Amino acid sequence: MRSAGLDFRTREFALREFPDPAPPAAGEVLIRVQEAGICGTDRELASFRFGFPPEGESFLTLGHEALGQVVETGPGVVDLHAGDWVVPMVRRPCAPRCPSCARGRRDLCVSGAFTEAGIFGRHGYLRDYATDDASDLVRIPGHLASRAVLIEPLSVVEKAVETALRIHEPGARTALVLGAGPIGMLAALLFRLRGLEVSVHSLEPPDHPRVKLLERSGIRYVAALGNMRVDIALEAAGSPAAAFAALGALAPLGVGGILGSPNATGGMPFLDLLRYNQAVFGTVNAGPEAFVRAVEDLAALEADVLDAMIFRVRFEDISSTLAAAPSTAAKTVHVLAE
């Protein structure tokens, strides 16, 4: 089978042929990968800034946002059947389990000994077939399959939105999202679905197709933040400038969420945080219940907006899509099975 990933010995991206997987063992499921999405994490991995291959190997198959179809189930698997559509969870619990992993919150793992498919110590889904534990797969209703490649990024957003809403004391009415990439767009759509008044601020010009798409869903694009104050502000731009802007835009009791910014010095508004009883949180990854909510919300979000976010390309185009985002659409998706 085909596979695309990183050779950590030569520090190069490579396409490789691997033997097809063996039949699934007890509790396991063999899936045919249908499609795999690419994000900023993959581009950072491809520059070898982080990530590592499975133990004892030098190659890491990339791809952590995937949709697959069950080919065969191993003994003891009762919830999944051949033909079912599934989305794999990215993170796998640590062993022996830390308190978070033990209570089903692998996304909150405190030992750091977790693995993440396509990222840390476990092969991803830019390959024709994969074998997973049934407990790491989320079943998708067939009518959602054409948009289900968005479930993994949506699960990350589900956790962030849920965390922000939970922390905000009296209940938030307004939200600002910094960034209009896939995570920023999905966050804005989800806040809207939760009934908040939503604004997006990003580097994209006001006539950008992604901005227009958000406006169609009742989301306001703001070119300059000025004195804007909101209950919740999320940084989804991967930049410290956006993170500082998010904190600076918080109203009293406001909650700021950091999803992608690297470290930076200066500018933390400590005095405002204490004076206005504000909170800041960071979040990464998503646990099983966030995936379940993502499946529900994928069905509730406007189908044509989600469809317009997806740009499908061939598996073979992977080296060029890793080098640069190829289109104005939000999410580049590689099709493996026709």
- CB of 190 vs ligand BGC, minimal distance in Å: 15
Is 67 one of the binding residues for ligand BGC (CB under 6 A)?
A: no
Task: Choose from Zn ion, ligand BGC, none: what does 213 bind? Cβ within 5-8 Å by kind.
Answer: none
Crossing angle for the helix pair 151-167 and 288-300, to the nearest 10 degrees: 100
- CB of 91 vs Zn ion, minimal distance in Å: 12
Is 160 one of the binding residues for ligand BGC (CB under 6 A)?
A: no
Nearer to Zn ion, 41 or 199 (CB): 41
19 CB contacts (<8 Å, ≥6 apart)?
A: 1
Nearer to ligand BGC, 167 or 286 (CB): 286
Nearer to ligand BGC, 89 or 247 (CB): 89
Tell me which residues touch Zn ion (CB under 5 A). 39, 41
Nearest-angstrom CA–CA distance, 66 and 89: 9
78 CB contacts (<8 Å, ≥6 apart)?
A: none
Nearer to ligand BGC, 106 or 168 (CB): 106
Task: Choose from Zn ion, ligand BGC, none: what does 116 bind? Cβ within 5-8 Å by kind.
Answer: ligand BGC
DSSP of 92-161: E--SSPPHHHHTT-GGG-SSS--EEETTBEE--SSBSEEEEEGGGEEEE-GGGGGGGGGHHHHHHHHHHH
Give the one residue of 46, 66, 90, 180 binding ligand BGC; rule: CB under 6 A.
90
Nearest-angstrom CA–CA distance, 94 and 106: 8
Interacting residues with ligand BGC between 98 and 157 (CB under 6 A): 116, 119, 152, 156
Nearest-angstrom CA–CA distance, 184 and 59: 31
Nearest-angstrom CA–CA distance, 279 and 90: 28
- CB of 171 vs Zn ion, minimal distance in Å: 30
Nearest-angstrom CA–CA distance, 107 and 92: 9
Is 61 one of the binding residues for ligand BGC (CB under 6 A)?
A: no
- CB of 103 vs ligand BGC, minimal distance in Å: 18
- CB of 95 vs ligand BGC, minimal distance in Å: 18
What tokens were used for 10?
């030569």
Contact 140, 85 (CB under 8 A): yes
Q: Mark 251-290 with x for binding to ligand BGC (rule: CB under 6 A) and - for no binding.
A: ---------------------------------xx-----
- CB of 82 vs ligand BGC, minimal distance in Å: 27
Nearest-angstrom CA–CA distance, 217 and 164: 21
Interacting residues with ligand BGC between 168 and 207 (CB under 6 A): none
- CB of 35 vs Zn ion, minimal distance in Å: 14
Nearer to ligand BGC, 279 or 284 (CB): 284
Q: How many CB atoms lie within 10 A of CB 21?
A: 17
What tokens were used for 321?
């899509």
Is 292 one of the binding residues for ligand BGC (CB under 6 A)?
A: no
Task: Choose from ligand BGC, Zn ion, none: what does 149 bind? Cβ within 5-8 Å by kind.
Answer: none
Q: How many CB atoms lie within 10 A of CB 233?
A: 32
Task: Choose from ligand BGC, Zn ion, none: what does 167 bind? Cβ within 5-8 Å by kind.
Answer: none
Task: Choose from ligand BGC, Zn ion, none: what does 279 bind? Cβ within 5-8 Å by kind.
Answer: none
* CA dist list (Å): 69 to 72, 127, 274: 9, 13, 50
Nearer to ligand BGC, 156 or 318 (CB): 156
Binding site for ligand BGC (CB under 6 A): 39, 41, 64, 90-91, 116, 119, 152, 156, 284-285
